[in-house]
């Protein structure tokens, strides 16, 4: 296929080529993979400023999306690539294979650097979904920091740089510029831009930004950062979000309130306990979805309200393809059982073949977990409707999952996102939290937006 880049894609490609360190905050659906590969091709064979390139990405994106883009476009056909996923033997064989670009999933970064026994001789690194390195305590972050001085050029790609607030940015930019802009130490970053928020004596649980923190942080990173929103550069389909409320019965409400009040719930199938606020949040989210794990690792049924709502939405779709996002394992089990009982064809999207079937229009219902398929997959050819059976607190996973359909290449004029919400439960808090987090992230994107 012949590549005819948009003006913003040409701009971003040149930006990557001209800046040894670059953060590209590109909204979902703007074609960040192909424009980055275009820049890599130029750096490898035009300017000769790159020699061995490593791409780090989520597993399915590493396995499917990057190879798919490399084989799709005519101007990239000369680039040799090797995908290092699978067993240790398969990964080593892929890394020893002669290639220009090596692609590995982020879960194997530590293995590559510390356990593989292979030299880390990559002079150019692309981190797809930079936000997955937002924790400075993670093993993948620490491992990559060990070899960061060897890397001459680095590109960070993401559409959700600060999904949980400005604190996320420190580790991401520490990896990119080794602390030049936001400091080398997280403690100093907190001191410079934040004040303690929730605390218990000397123990600080959360921080909140100082009044001028956002502006100062954006100014610090602006010289190596560009951002673009899809609505600014593409004729995007209209995005419609809908809430589908369900109501618990009085008995179901009593169980929910008992768990919320006492942190302990007595059920005929076993006892459910929550040790702290975080555990309680998880239990309440499960109960809002219709089931909850007991202390014996089984799950007990609470209600079927969301399953009934899902069935209604599927019936109303009249065989129109639907993407259903679930969160807990028992959600998947119960959804599958209901669909099988109603003889509704479905498939879980967890393999290359299932993804291909969805894009060919062969699946009426596809079940997707945001954490495993939220980043980078192109699913827009298969449908234009998402149903959130169970919500996530993660703005990043929420936005990225929605962007599988609401993106460039979507032929429908409208993308519809349904949220099945259990009224007067934690579901309503989750939706509100996602909205509040989005305001902080939108401010960051706007502050460093590329001026074309």
Cβ 45 vs Cβ 78: under 8 Å = yes
Q: What is the mean pLDDT of residues 273-284?
A: 79
What value does the mean pLDDT of the chain take? 88
Give the SS3 label for residue 373. Answer: helix
* pLDDT at 427 (0 to 100): 92
Give the SS3 label for residue 45. Answer: helix
42-51, 96-105, 240-249, 275-284: segment of lowest average pLDDT: 275-284
Q: What is the mean pLDDT of residues 74-92?
A: 96
Higher pLDDT, 39 or 314: 39
Share of the chain above pLDDT 70, in %: 93
Answer left, alpha or beta for residue 178, where phi above 0 means left and psi between -120 and 50 means alpha: left
Give the SS3 label for residue 79. Answer: coil
* pLDDT at 373 (0 to 100): 63
Closest CA to 402 of 33, 77, 25, 29: 29
Q: What is the mean pLDDT of residues 347-364?
A: 87
Cβ 145 vs Cβ 139: under 8 Å = no
Task: State the pLDDT confidence band at 445, using cuts at 50, 70 and 90.
Answer: low
CA-CA-CA-CA torsion sign (354, 389, 133, 442) = positive
Q: What is the mean pLDDT of residues 286-303?
A: 89
* pLDDT at 407 (0 to 100): 80
> So what's the architecture of 7-232 in CATH?
3-Layer(aba) Sandwich (3.40)
Query: Is residue 440 over pLDDT 90?
Result: no
Residue 63 contacts by C-beta under 8 Å, 6 or more apart in sequence?
83, 85, 105, 352
CA-CA-CA-CA torsion sign (257, 262, 264, 266) = negative
Residue 407 contacts by C-beta under 8 Å, 6 or more apart in sequence?
28, 29, 230, 236, 378, 380
Higher pLDDT, 399 or 180: 180
* pLDDT at 375 (0 to 100): 55
C-alpha separations of 272 from 82, 248, 255, 292, 294 in Å: 47, 19, 11, 8, 5
| Domains 7-232 and 238-443 agree in fold | yes
DSSP tag of 281: H
* pLDDT at 449 (0 to 100): 62
CATH code for the part of the protein at 238-443: 3.40.50.300
Answer left, alpha or beta for residue 234, where phi above 0 means left and psi between -120 and 50 means alpha: beta
Residue ranges of the domains in the chain? 7-232, 238-443
Cα-to-chain-centroid distance, residue 205: 25
Q: What is the mean pLDDT of residues 221-225?
A: 93
Higher pLDDT, 258 or 264: 258
Cα-to-chain-centroid distance, residue 441: 14
C-alpha separations of 422 from 310, 419, 446 in Å: 12, 10, 34
* pLDDT at 231 (0 to 100): 66
* pLDDT at 334 (0 to 100): 96
Tokens linked to 159: 């559409």
Higher pLDDT, 368 or 438: 368
Dist CA 147 CA 170 (whole Å) = 18
Q: What is the mean pLDDT of residues 332-338?
A: 96
Cα-to-chain-centroid distance, residue 129: 7
* pLDDT at 452 (0 to 100): 46
Q: What is the mean pLDDT of residues 398-416?
A: 84
């Amino acid at each position: 296929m012949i590549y005819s880049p948009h003006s913003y894609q040409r701009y971003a490609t040149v930006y990557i080529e001209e800046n040894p360190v670059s953060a590209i905050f590109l909204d979902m659906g703007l074609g960040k993979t192909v424009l980055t590969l275009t820049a890599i091709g130029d750096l490898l064979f035009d300017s000769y400023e790159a020699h061995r390139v490593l791409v780090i990405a989520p597993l399915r994106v590493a396995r499917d999306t990057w190879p798919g883009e490399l084989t799709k476009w005519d101007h990239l056909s000369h680039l040799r690539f090797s995908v290092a996923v699978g067993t240790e033997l398969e990964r080593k064989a892929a890394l020893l294979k002669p290639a220009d670009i090596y692609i590995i999933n982020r879960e194997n970064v530590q293995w590559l650097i510390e356990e593989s026994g292979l030299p880390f001789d990559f002079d150019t690194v692309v981190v797809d979904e930079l936000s997955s390195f937002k924790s400075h305590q993670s093993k993948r972050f620490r491992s990559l920091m060990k070899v960061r001085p060897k890397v001459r050029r680095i590109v960070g790609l993401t559409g959700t740089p600060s999904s949980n607030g400005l604190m996320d940015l420190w580790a991401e930019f520490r990896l990119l510029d080794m602390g030049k802009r936001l400091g080398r130490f997280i403690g100093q970053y907190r001191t410079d831009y934040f004040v303690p928020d929730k605390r218990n004596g000397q123990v600080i649980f959360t921080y909140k930004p100082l009044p001028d923190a956002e502006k100062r942080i954006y100014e610090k990173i602006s010289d190596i950062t560009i951002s673009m929103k899809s609505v600014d550069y593409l004729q995007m389909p209209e995005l419609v979000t809908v809430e589908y409320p369900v109501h618990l019965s009085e008995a179901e409400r009593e169980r929910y309130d008992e768990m919320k009040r006492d942190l302990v719930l007595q059920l005929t199938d076993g006892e459910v306990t929550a040790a702290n606020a975080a555990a309680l949040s998880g239990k309440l989210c499960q109960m809002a979805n219709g089931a909850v794990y007991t202390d014996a690792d089984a799950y007990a049924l609470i209600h079927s309200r969301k399953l009934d709502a899902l069935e209604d939405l599927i019936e109303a779709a009249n065989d129109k393809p639907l993407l259903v996002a679930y969160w807990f394992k028992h959600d998947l089990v119960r959804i599958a059982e209901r669909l099988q009982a109603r003889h509704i064809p479905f498939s879980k999207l967890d393999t290359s073949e299932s993804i291909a079937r969805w894009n060919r229009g062969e699946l009426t219902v596809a079940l997707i977990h945001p954490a495993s398929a939220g980043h980078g997959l192109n699913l827009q050819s298969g449908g234009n409707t998402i149903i959130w059976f169970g919500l996530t607190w993660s703005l990043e996973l929420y936005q990225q999952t929605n962007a599988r359909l609401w993106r460039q290449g979507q032929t429908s004029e409208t993308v519809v996102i349904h949220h099945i919400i259990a009224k007067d439960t934690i579901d309503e808090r989750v939706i509100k939290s996602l909205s509040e987090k989005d305001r902080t992230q939108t401010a960051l994107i706007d502050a460093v937006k590329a001026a074309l």
